[in-house]
Amino acid sequence: MLAADITGRKFTAMRAFVLRRVLAAIPLLLGASLLIFLVFAFTPGDFIDGNINLTAQRAAELKALYGLDQPWWLRYLHWLEKLLHGDLGFSMQYQIPVTELLGQYVFNSFLLASVSMVLYWGIALLTGVLAAVQPYSLFDRLLTLAVFAAMSFPVFFLCLLLIKWAAVDLGWLPVGGMLATGSDTRGWAYVHEVAIHMVLPVITLVMLQAGGLTRYFRASMFEALAMDFVRTARAKGLKERTVIFKHALRNALLPMIALAGFELPALFSGAIITEKLFNWPGVGHVHIDTLAARDYPVLMAFTLFLAALTILGNLMADIVYACVDPRIRLR
């Protein structure tokens, strides 16, 4: 009865907490949107300025048609008004609604990022923990060396090396893209084709990301293993396996929750260099292109989307914290 009561109270506290945090996110997002808008509005040049061939008269006409002749605050208010009606606007460059445009590319980035994320979290967890269990062993030292080697590779170089070996010399994997040119595959054949095209970019991303994360896991696990309760557990006569995976690991994972929260926006933002080199049709290059073209509606929408995901990721991390760690009270 007591336990149920505590759970109930905790649930009520959690609901209030989530509500408060969501409400607090609104002014935060508004502030972020204003800031983002100001940065873009005060960057020299706009969508029309980039066209060198226009006469002054036609440029002025076009600026009026696109509303670029208005003061920045009026443009911001227009944008905000549309946003409140659920309209993210219309891309100047692509001439389709921003949501439709992002929809064409965000999924591809998400696919690549999520697969690599699962892999490098898994690898980092495994290697990090194993290294911490036997600190300063040969395995630990070799791992540290490998980790730093992988991290220090420039992305550009790594991608080109992989392409040269696997695609050009051996001919095992495609040079780039997400599908073979002119391919009409459907169903499982399609899945297979995409998977093959994903191998190299995923290897690149895993190599670049797993290293740092392994260090985090190792440090966290190392610290947990030095705690008093681990000594107690061992003194109780528990099996070493139980001590490590049940007592130490669970505690070592807590700080990783915050890190995982930060990964949420990274799932959707697109790995710009890797995507570019492997010709992956992700959102990264769209973001860069729209920046060069000063396509404000897309820039605003996408940057704000990432800001919202950052806030959401943090909130989720806090909630998960509260769920798994009874010591934490949400206020």
User: Shortest distance, CB of residue 60 to other proteins, whole angstroms?
Assistant: 12
Which range, of 130-138, 144-152, 159-167, 222-230, touches other proteins by CB under 8 A?
159-167
CA 89 vs CA 96, 127, 305: distances in Å: 9, 46, 13
CA 255 vs CA 116, 317, 321: distances in Å: 21, 10, 9
Q: Draw the binding track, 181-220, toward other proteins (x: CB under 8 A; -: no contact).
A: xx--------------------------------------
Return the number of other C-beta atoms located less than 10 Å from residue 227's C-beta: 14
C-alpha to C-alpha distance for 297 and 283, rounded to whole angstroms:
15
For residues 115 and 200, the answer to whether their CB atoms sit within 8 Å is no
Q: Rounded to 5 degrees, what are φ and ψ at 90? A: -125, 130
Residues 6+ apart with CB under 8 A from 256: 216, 217, 220
Amino acid symbol at 217:
F
C-alpha to C-alpha distance for 207 and 192, rounded to whole angstroms:
23
292 binds other proteins (CB under 8 A): yes
278 binds other proteins (CB under 8 A): yes
* For other proteins, the closer CB: 152 or 181: 181
302 binds other proteins (CB under 8 A): no
Q: Which of residues 94-133 bind other proteins (CB under 8 A)?
A: 94-96, 104-105, 108
Q: Draw the binding track, 30-49, toward other proteins (x: CB under 8 A; -: no contact).
A: -------------xxxx--x
Residues 6+ apart with CB under 8 A from 24: none
* Binding test (CB under 8 A) with other proteins, winner from 53, 86, 136, 327: 53
C-alpha to C-alpha distance for 112 and 119, rounded to whole angstroms:
11
Here the tokens at position 289 are: 């292109």
User: Shortest distance, CB of residue 207 to other proteins, whole angstroms?
Assistant: 17
* Binding test (CB under 8 A) with other proteins, winner from 156, 165, 190, 262: 156
User: Shortest distance, CB of residue 306 to other proteins, whole angstroms?
Assistant: 19
For residues 183 and 285, the answer to whether their CB atoms sit within 8 Å is no
User: Shortest distance, CB of residue 65 to other proteins, whole angstroms?
Assistant: 4
Rounded to a whole number of angstroms, the distance between the first and last alpha carbons of the chain is 24
Q: Draw the binding track, 61-100, toward other proteins (x: CB under 8 A; -: no contact).
A: -x--xx-------------------------xxxxx----
Contacts with other proteins, residue ranges (CB under 8 A) = 43-46, 49-58, 62, 65-66, 92-96, 104-105, 108, 156, 159-160, 163-164, 167-168, 171, 174-179, 181-182, 276-282, 285-286, 289, 292-294
